Structure 1
Amino acid sequence: MSGISNDLGVASHPVGLAKLSVSEKIGYGLGDAGGTIITGLISNFLTFFYTDIFGLTPAVVGTLFLVLRVIDAISDPLIGVIADRSSTKMGQFRPFILWTAIPLGLIAFLTFSVPDLAYHWKVLYAVVTYFALSVLYSLNNVPYCALITKITTNPLELVSCQSWRFALCGVAGFAVSVGLPIMVDYFGNGNAVRGYQYGVGVLACLAIAMFLLCFYGVKERVVARNNHTFNLRESLKSIRRNDQLLLTFVMSLLIISIFNTKGGVAMYFITYVLHGDATYTSLFFGMATLGGITGSILVQYLTRSFEIKTLYFWVNMVLALAHFAVWFVPGTATTVWLVLVFVCCVVLGLILPMHFTLVTFADTYGEWKSGRRSSGMNFAFNLFFVKLAWAVAGVIVSVVLTVVAYRSGMENQTPLSLAGITMLSTAIPGVLHLLLAATVWFFRIDNKMVAQMEQELGR
Structure 2
Amino acid sequence: MKKEKMSVSKLLGYGLGEVGSQLIWYMVSSYLMLFYTDILTLSAGAIAMIMLVARIWDAVNDPMMGAIADRTRTKWGRFRPYIIFGTPVLALFNLLTFTVFPVHGVVKVALALICYIGAGMAYTAVSTAYASLVNVIAKKSQEKQDLSAARTVGSSVAQLVLAIAAMPLILKLGHSEVATGQGYFRTVLLFSLVAIPCLWLTAFLCKETYGNELHQNHEKKSLKESLINIFRNKQIVLAMLVCFMVTTAIMGRITLLSYYVIYVMGSYTLVGAVMGVMCIGAIVFSMLIPIFTRIMGKRNWLICICSIMSIGMIGTYFADPTNVPVILVLSFMIGVGNSGQGVIFGMFSDCIDYSDYKYGVREEGLSFSFITFAVKLAGALVGAVGVVLLAKFGYVAGVEQTEAAKAGINMVVNIIPAICTIIGLIPLFFYKLSNKKMAEIAQELEKRKIEKE
Residues 35-434 of structure 1 correspond to what in structure 2 (within 5 A)? 35-190=21-176, 192-222=180-210, 223-224=213-214, 226-278=217-269, 280-345=270-335, 347-411=336-400, 413-434=401-422
State the shift of 1:211 in Å.
1.0
Q: How far off its partner does 1:18 sit?
A: 7.0
Aligned-partner residue type, residue 83 of structure 1:
A
Describe the superposition over 1:212-268 as per-residue Cα deviations: whole angstroms up to 9, x where unpaired: 111111111222252322432331221121111111221121121111221121111
SS, match of residue 410 in structure 1:
coil
Q: Structure 1 78/67 Cα, relative in aligned 2: closer, same or farther at 3 Å?
A: same
Q: After TM superposition, give the deviation of residue 432 of structure 1 in Å.
A: 0.9
> Hey, what's the Cα distance between the residues in 2 that align with 1:416 and 1:262?
19
Amino acid corresponding to residue 162 of structure 2 in structure 1: V
1:276 to 1:104, Cα distance in 2 relative to 1, 3 A: same
Residues 102-149 of structure 1 deviation map (CA, whole Å, 9 limit, x = unaligned): 111111111111011122211111011000000000011111111111
Residue type at the aligned position of 1:202? L
TM-score between the two structures when normalised by the length of structure 1: 0.92
Q: Distance in 1 between matches of 2:114 and 2:182?
A: 20
Which digits, 9 at most, give the CA deviation of each residue in 1:349-372, with x for residues without a partner?
431111110111111111111112
Alignment match, 1:11: none
Contact 1:293–1:349 (8 Å) recurs in 2: no
Question: How much does 1:299 deviate?
Answer: 1.8
User: Tell me, which stretches of 5 or more residues in structure 1 are unaligned?
Assistant: 1-16
1:438 counterpart = 2:429: no
Cα distance between partner residues in 1 of 2:278 and 2:307: 20
Deviation at 1:202, TM superposition (A): 0.2
Taking the aligned partners of 2:102 and 2:276, their CA distance within structure 1 comes to 33
Measured against aligned partners, the alpha-carbon deviations of 1:71-121 in whole angstroms (never above 9, x if no partner) come to: 011111111121011011111111110011111111111111101112221
Q: Report the secondary structure of 2:430's partner residue.
A: coil
Q: C-alpha deviations, 1:21-80, integer Å up to 9, x for none? A: 111111111112222223311111000011001111122112211221000111111111
Q: Which amino acid aligns with 1:53?
A: I
Kindly, what percent of the aligned residue pairs are identical?
Answer: 29
Change (3 A) 1:321 1:171: closer
User: Structure 2 matches for 1:12-51, cutoff 5 A?
Assistant: 19-51=5-37
2:441 pairs with 1:450: no
Larger mean CA deviation between 208-217 and 386-395 belongs to 386-395
Change (3 A) 1:321 1:173: closer
Greater Cα shift, 297-306 or 222-231: 222-231
Instruction: Supply the distance in 2 between the matched residues of 1:438 and 1:293 (Cα, whole angstroms).
Output: 26
**CA 1:196 to 1:128, structure 2 compared with 1: closer, same or farther past 3 Å?**
same
Label 1:136 to 1:228 Cα distance change in 2 as closer, same or farther (>3 A).
Answer: same
Q: Distance in 2 between matches of 1:320 and 1:286?
A: 19
CA distance in 2, matches of 1:181, 1:430: 26
CA RMSD of aligned residues (A): 1.7
TM superposition score normalised by structure 2: 0.93
1:277, distance to aligned residue in structure 2 (A): 3.2
> Number of residues paired by the alignment?
440
